[in-house]
Every structure is written in structure tokens, then in C-alpha cells.
Amino acid sequence: MDIAIGDTFTKSRTVTDELIRAFAELSGDHNPIHLDDEFASKTRFGRRIAHGMLSGAFISAVLGFEFRERKIVYLSQTMKFTAPIFIGDTITTTATVRNIRKEKGIVTLETTCTKQDGTIAVQGEAMVMILK
């Protein structure tokens, strides 16, 4: 396996209104906190927030892109949402290899989504199986 503990993969993406609306359409999650400015303005956040699972999609994109030559199966993902993501935030998604089970081809990665100001919005752990 040409991967080592400590290897890190990253990708950045800016959250837009169009991205949130496309995710709502794809997922079927039309919660007004994501889509309705007036509703969201009356919440504790004061404005619309991105779907939490959009961050999960960002993590999946990093893993799918970085491991595309290796062909993986996504086995699990944990996520703790620690800060809201707003329209206009640029999110850097990072996956860092923490453990490798070579005999099974299973890799465990620490995953984070960090806002442009350094605030961690999502942290968790992914496990993937590298296919031979």
C-alpha cells in the first residue's frame, strides 16, 4: 500500500446559495433553516446555514478524489458538528491517515472541515477499505 500514517489530503470549496439549493434538491432536505432567509433570520444563527451533511459530502469528495487510483469502499464516517457553516464560507476539508490495517486494506482517517478563519466546523473519523 503506497499510503502512510500521517499522509494528509485536502480540498477547499466555497459554500454558495446555489450549492445549498442543489444539495436540498438532491437530498430532499428542504428545512427552511437552509433555504428561507426570513425564517433563518429569526433563529439563533441569524441567517441561513448549510446542511450538516453537505460537510459529509465534502469529506466523501476528498476521499473519492485522493483515493481514485486505489478504488475504495467507504465503510464508516463519524461527524461532530462544532460550528455552523454559512453561505460564503470557504471550507477546507482535510483527511489525515491515522491507522492502516494492511492485512485487511482498511485505512482510518481523521476528518475535519475548517472555515476560512480557522474555526473547525466538523470533526470526525472515516474508515475506508482499499480494494485490490
pLDDT tens digits, residue range 12-38? Answer: 999 999 999 999 999 999 999 999 999
28, with CB counted inside 10 A (0-12, 13-18, 19+), is: exposed
- Domain of residue 62 covers 8-16+53-130
Euclidean distance between CA atoms 72 and 105, whole angstroms: 9
In a domain, 64, yes or no: yes
Q: How many domains does the chain have?
A: 1
pTM across the whole model: 0.92
In a domain, 34, yes or no: no
In a domain, 99, yes or no: yes
In a domain, 2, yes or no: no
In a domain, 38, yes or no: no
CATH assignment of the domain containing 60: 3.10.129.10
Beta bridge partners of 107: 100, 128
In a domain, 72, yes or no: yes
In a domain, 36, yes or no: no
pLDDT band for 1, please (50, 70, 90 cuts). Answer: low
In a domain, 112, yes or no: yes
